A and B are shown apart, each in its own frame.
Chain A
Amino acid sequence: MKLTLKIWRQKNAASEGKIVEYPIDGIEPDMSFLEMLDILNDELIVKGEDTVAFDHDCREGICGMCSLFINGEAHGPDRLVTTCQLHMRKFKDGDTIFIEPFRAKAFPVIKDLVVDRGAFDRIQQSGGFISVNTSGNTIDANTIPIPKHDADRAFDAATCIGCGACVASCKNSSAMLFVSAKVSQFALLPQGKVEATDRVLNMVSQMDAEGFGNCTNTGACEVECPKGISLENIARMNREYLSASLKG
């Protein structure tokens, strides 16, 4: 396959960036998208040019590091995949592919396609935990039975990989899906209910402080989420937040 890549290049956080065009040839349909970029980078090195920086690590869709906005969609045109799981068979010979970083004020660009998602960590630090010490001296794990249905839903929410595709896809750069996934996970478990009030208030307040936009329920986040985190979580967080606010 022969492709034209239009890639956002930006030297560092302070400099201005622009889209640069790169032709590439010899791409096999079985290659992953990132392997295609590996090939481009190897070519750039041989030519003596600086490589295109992009975040990636596990390359099996679980670490949440890869974060490319491909042809106008977070993680590209396939569904329920991260960028590293996207394969070139989703493209045709001769295609032009736009590759841009996940864009949001709260995700400043570090270089090229690499952004700083520290805002997500800070939101988690503000309340995304259950305050038990890790002494091991807790009660036996089977002391509190948890309905399978609740445990499964908590698990579904907990599968969020924190990649930021929700923010990148949202026309408002809202982080509601990400925050609500954590709030929901704990709200659904008896262990998490103890601190539920403070948790949701603190996490939402940190989310707002980071400069994310407001949710307008377009649903783009749910569609683009590589883990299929449901909008139900956002509704749950809205409920949790309202009741927490009323409790004060």
Chain B
Amino acid sequence: MAKSALLKSSIAKKVAMALSGLFLILFLAQHFFINSTSVFSPDTFNSISHFMGNNPLVQFVFQPILIFGVVFHFVMGMVLEIKNNSARPISYAKNNGAANSSWASRNMIVSGLVVLAFLGLHFYDFWVPEMVYKYVEVNPLDETRYFAELTHKFESGIRTAIYCVSFLLLSLHLWHGFNSSFQSVGFNNKYSKSLHTLGYAFAIVVPFGFIFIALFHYFNH
């Protein structure tokens, strides 16, 4: 079999989807860790944020990889969605999907697109100003600005609400995605049960933690 077939095969695609997903999960975990410091200690938050924003390795290696990861996960998700939809040209008049699978698993495209839309907002809110601040306007370094920027954004009730809804969807995305990734790479054995518990815990703790942080700042500004 030709090597090219490997890259095109359905299993290769799902493995790629899984690996990019797992990578994003790692990113999410560290992002959550950093944000959570904002609740306890603005100073810690500022210093970590400053490190992340100015460390060349983070900025010029990890950041592009992350962006590539997001774009890849999205593009591959869309490719799979289109292919999967075309695999059933006539849909059922009555389909009781709830009988055999979770809403989250059947609607990854919905939760994924909401999260993507949120990412757009998030980039507009934080990443774009950050890039402009650092690389377009080339402002001087300010190690203490991050906490204020963060809390400023959560002054708006609407923005906070959007934030909460998006993370709710992210929770659903992770509820299925975390464990699905392991299944896709072939991990299914006696440890799977514990791993599933971990996955569900992650899918709840992290997004709801983000929601908590948002609400915390909204009510404390």
Contacts and interface: CB of A to CB of B under 8 A. Distances in A.
Contact of A6 (B12, B83, B93, B186): B93
Interface in A47-71: 69, 71
B80 interface: yes
A207 interface: yes
Interface in A30-89: 69, 71-73, 77
A216 B12 contact: no
B87 A232 contact: no
Contacts of A19: 93
A218 B93 contact: no
A208 B13 CA distance: 12
A231 B176 CA distance: 15
B10 A208 contact: yes
A205 B84 contact: no
Contacts of A238: 11, 14-15, 183-186
Interface in B1-47: 1, 3, 5-6, 8-15
Interface residues of B, number: 44
A103 B84 contact: no
A77 B100 CA distance: 10
Interface stretch (A131-139, A143-151, A153-161, A166-174): A166-174
B176 to A, nearest CB: 7
Contacts, number: 144
A91 interface: no
Contacts of B93: 6, 8, 19, 98, 100
A69 B94 CA distance: 9
Interface in A195-240: 201-202, 204-205, 207-208, 211-220, 223-224, 231-232, 234-240
B92 A103 contact: yes
Contacts of B187: 235
Nearest to A245: B6
Given A71-B94, A72-B94, A215 B186 contact: no
| Main secondary structure on B side of the interface with A | helix
B14 A215 contact: yes
A121 B100 CA distance: 26
A173 B84 contact: yes
Interface string B167-194: 0000000001001100111111000000
Contact of B90 (A103, A204, A213): A103
A106 interface: yes
A26 interface: no
Contact of B3 (A100, A176, A248): A248
Contact of B80 (A73, A205, A214): A214
B183 A235 contact: yes
B87 A239 contact: no
B68 to A, nearest CB: 21
A220 B88 contact: no
5 contacts: A77-B99, A104-B88, A214-B83, A217-B180, A240-B186
Q: Which 5 interchain pairs have the tightest Cβ spacing?
A: A72-B96, A235-B188, A239-B186, A213-B87, A172-B84
Interface of B: 1, 3, 5-6, 8-15, 80, 83-97, 99-102, 105-106, 108, 176, 179-180, 183-188
Given A100-B93, A214-B13, A237-B186, 7 more contacts: A8-B93, A19-B93, A72-B97, A213-B83, A217-B180, A231-B188, A234-B183
Interface of A: 6, 8, 19, 69, 71-73, 77, 98, 100, 103-106, 169, 171-174, 176, 201-202, 204-205, 207-208, 211-220, 223-224, 231-232, 234-242, 245, 248
